Structure 1
């Protein structure tokens, strides 16, 4: 039985402008056929077993012809697989979605169209430009700004005009040209040739809705020259008409101190939310590259034995939020009353671990100022009495500093590893993630296991080729990076997500100052 194809519009660039319907369709698809300029975070909605097929078209170079794309969609659908054809903007606005639907219909393949937010409206909106306005424009005209290969040459061998400039020049509404920055000179001269006022306001919005967005303002008579001067590149949207000048007063999009920075976060997806949102709030473009996945270790006799004699422990220690979540989930599954923890003191490492414990209605008796095992050990030694016994909940990959310190100081303890970190199998996701690494300004590491997994996935030779600065959450992670031959640019002074963000802001500001000098 043949599968189904979703023709999906991914919106104007910012992945948060993806529709709920589009995200759902991507999640349930087996094959993701995607274009150039699709944000990697859009593709991140796909399930772990999905296959990714890149058919992007570079300006002046169609990497995969449209006829081949049609055949790719048909091939996977005939294999009985669900296919997501992911396009920028809206699939029916200069996206050839109609051609793909016709081809699928002709071959008896079920399809569904998922409209997307078009850049023709969203990008001007992000620049503070309303494409219609009662006092300035009551109509909107959207025009392709580039020549199609098929229609560029007329029958007599001469170049055809880009579009019907004579008709467009008479329109009093807003003119929006998509994919036209390369031909902006021809667009402006064509409109003026047929009577459009040379002083007509024009705004060119580069990388609209993305952190690197910038706007160049001018008129029909000078905007082409300005675009050359400021080196405006695709993707860019051209807005011509009286509304274009409103953006100079209505521009609302705040770029933030990290605007223009491309940052890769290597944390597991389920634990990266605070760091990702914090970086994005400061204007960064963030790509999630989850090199490790957290796997729960199966319950064993040691765990049950510890639960049966909880009253024998004086301290319960957690070294991560993962340990907290798994420990209390198991208590619930085994119907162990939380009141059995009465009288046991609690210690944690790190603000994230503290927050996880707080979510259970519990608050630590001790948390070191510096979030390291060394500091935790030092503080516990001062607080533990001779007969006290510790129950330590940690990872199979935990470093031995803590337990070695217990032994050296004669402190009784039981250690139970409730989870481990495994290297992620990213499969064909690497096809779109590796290019993001190659463009990244900064790559972050929040644990030694993430460093090792990163090396396992990419290899040391590939890592040496990356131009990005490496930023680590603390000295232990930085040490692990050094052991792998990775040059670390900066280490957070506060060993949590906030510390990483602050260090990146500091690094970015220093780089900016150096550039200005």
Structure 2
């Protein structure tokens, strides 16, 4: 008997992964097929199971479009084949998300469905900009309005006289291109020209921006600031509260834009630390760890295990578990790591590292292990990684008799889209946490000349990364004293206060 399929319409929230609901994450983890939009959190699908089929059906205004009819076809095809289909949408599926159409399609064809509400951008983006959409004595009502109507329809569906007379806050979704028309229609039908307006670009995301003005000035101000979708526009007295209640961008890095080039899986911690200090973060992941096939050898008799990165540690312990072993297989083995980040990754698997060098560079780790008497060593590192630890063990007195190197991943370039490239070159600072991030960022933005011409200042996590930048013809403006992400943040704060 064929298993009955079902559809789950999931709202993934406005962009900040922390705003995804527990039920949304559960549904994604249970899916056989995931149909997802463009405007979902970057990490939204990280919890999908290994065998799930992921299909991009996103739509971007002015760009490539996946027709809604094709999305409907995919929903029906997979659900009728007995699969659990999860349709992941930005925001809430029933707020300008066409979720109602997809629910009606399911009902028409007898397919069971569930709706998982999400935090909608019309509330979240203003909140992240310090704007309450309702406020006692200022706005007792709020209306959510689409700013992007179907261009194929000859007449507007919006009742502009009624919107102009609405006694509360108006929140327009998807209205960047229509902003001059929105302002003109509202003022033409009686809304005061000096009424406060705020437009929030990429609300809840690390590089959120807000522009404040009035109905009379907002279109010009937004154009001057080059505001782009996705954005929401707030019209009403409450919009002015954002200038008083704004809580993002407050701190020693206020008004400073910082590029984070770490892989997406690692970027969130650094981005969060920078945002908490007031920085406007531009995520420009230019590297990604690509898994490689490998086997954890028999660990009996291994004197020393060397782990050179958090990603390597995660891959090693995952493979150890998959082979039916756990941390007990390391009994009697000293564990050496390259720095605090890798040490924390190892502790997450119930193992306390024996050796953590004072400086998080290969040379410091090599100095530590060179003084040990080692018969059998296992080194876990990225393919193409530096060989200083193996050379130190091989050159020790006495030398290690057996040195095995396993490479569970390789670092490869992740291209930047044109908009991310432009935002990165417009920033104040770029941070680099590895030599590969420096090399691949330089390549992604058009070379060292493009970086120099932009005026972008460079912050290096340590001497190896600094050497890579210099080999590219670039000189870092700061280098972290402590070679960790926290040390890099501290270096930026010091430079900003100088």
Superposed CA deviations along residues 309-346 of structure 1, whole A, max 9, x for unmatched, are xxxx7xx56444666985999999596896x68xxx88
Tell me the number of residue pairs that the alignment of Structure 1 and Structure 2 aligns.
Answer: 468
Q: Distance in 2 between matches of 1:180 and 1:413?
A: 66
Alignment of 1:32-431 (within 5 A): 32-60=34-62, 63-151=65-153, 153=154, 160-161=155-156, 163-254=158-249, 257=253, 261=258, 263-266=260-263, 269=265, 275=270, 277-278=272-273, 281=276, 282-286=279-283, 290-293=288-291, 297-300=295-298, 303-304=299-300, 306=301, 316=304, 318-320=306-308, 326=317, 348-355=337-344, 364=354, 367-378=356-367, 388-389=373-374, 392-395=377-380, 400-415=387-402, 417=404, 420-423=407-410
Q: Distance in 2 between matches of 1:277 and 1:471?
A: 17
Q: Distance in 1 between matches of 2:9 and 2:162?
A: 32
Q: What does residue 3 of structure 1 align with?
A: 5
How many angstroms does 1:30 deviate by?
Answer: 2.9
CA contact (8 A) 1:210 1:285 kept: no
How many angstroms does 1:54 deviate by?
Answer: 2.4
Q: Distance in 1 between matches of 2:327 and 2:216?
A: 75
Q: Distance in 2 between matches of 1:111 and 1:331?
A: 38
Q: What does residue 420 of structure 2 align with?
A: 439
- Show structure 2 runs of 5+ residues with no match: 425-429
How many angstroms does 1:262 deviate by?
Answer: 5.1
Superposed CA deviations along residues 367-424 of structure 1, whole A, max 9, x for unmatched, are 544434434444566x56xxx5555342276755444444444324354648531359
Q: Distance in 2 between matches of 1:162 and 1:43?
A: 35
Say which SS state the counterpart of residue 42 (structure 1) adopts. Answer: coil
Superposed CA deviations along residues 38-88 of structure 1, whole A, max 9, x for unmatched, are 232223333333333222223256712222221122122233332222222
Q: Identify if the C-alpha distance between structure 1 residues 278 and 215 changes in structure 2 by more than 3 Å, giving closer, same or farther.
A: closer
CA contact (8 A) 2:363 2:389 kept: yes
Q: Identify if the C-alpha distance between structure 1 residues 79 and 125 changes in structure 2 by more than 3 Å, giving closer, same or farther.
A: same
Q: Distance in 1 between matches of 2:474 and 2:337?
A: 27
Q: Identify if the C-alpha distance between structure 1 residues 243 and 47 changes in structure 2 by more than 3 Å, giving closer, same or farther.
A: same
- Show structure 1 runs of 5+ residues with no match: 154-159, 308-312
CA contact (8 A) 1:212 1:259 kept: no
Point out the structure with max Rg over C-alpha.
1
Q: TM-score, normalised by structure 1?
A: 0.73
Q: Identify if the C-alpha distance between structure 1 residues 377 and 247 changes in structure 2 by more than 3 Å, giving closer, same or farther.
A: closer
Q: Distance in 2 between matches of 1:412 and 1:105?
A: 71
Q: Distance in 2 between matches of 1:272 and 1:236?
A: 23
Say which SS state the counterpart of residue 241 (structure 2) adopts. Answer: helix
CA contact (8 A) 1:395 1:419 kept: yes
Say which SS state the counterpart of residue 43 (structure 1) adopts. Answer: coil
CA contact (8 A) 1:202 1:240 kept: yes
Q: Distance in 2 between matches of 1:508 and 1:74?
A: 56
Q: Distance in 2 between matches of 1:199 and 1:66?
A: 40
Alignment of 1:7-18 (within 5 A): 7-18=9-20
CA contact (8 A) 1:464 1:486 kept: no
CA contact (8 A) 2:206 2:283 kept: no
How many angstroms does 1:221 deviate by?
Answer: 2.6
Q: Identify if the C-alpha distance between structure 1 residues 423 and 184 changes in structure 2 by more than 3 Å, giving closer, same or farther.
A: same
CA contact (8 A) 1:447 1:473 kept: no
Q: TM-score, normalised by structure 2?
A: 0.75
Say which SS state the counterpart of residue 77 (structure 1) adopts. Answer: helix
CA contact (8 A) 1:10 1:117 kept: yes
Considering only aligned residues, what root-mean-square deviation do their CA atoms show, in Å? 4.6
Say which SS state the counterpart of residue 199 (structure 2) adopts. Answer: strand
Q: Identify if the C-alpha distance between structure 1 residues 399 and 128 changes in structure 2 by more than 3 Å, giving closer, same or farther.
A: closer
Q: Identify if the C-alpha distance between structure 1 residues 275 and 400 changes in structure 2 by more than 3 Å, giving closer, same or farther.
A: same
Q: Distance in 2 between matches of 1:208 and 1:323?
A: 34
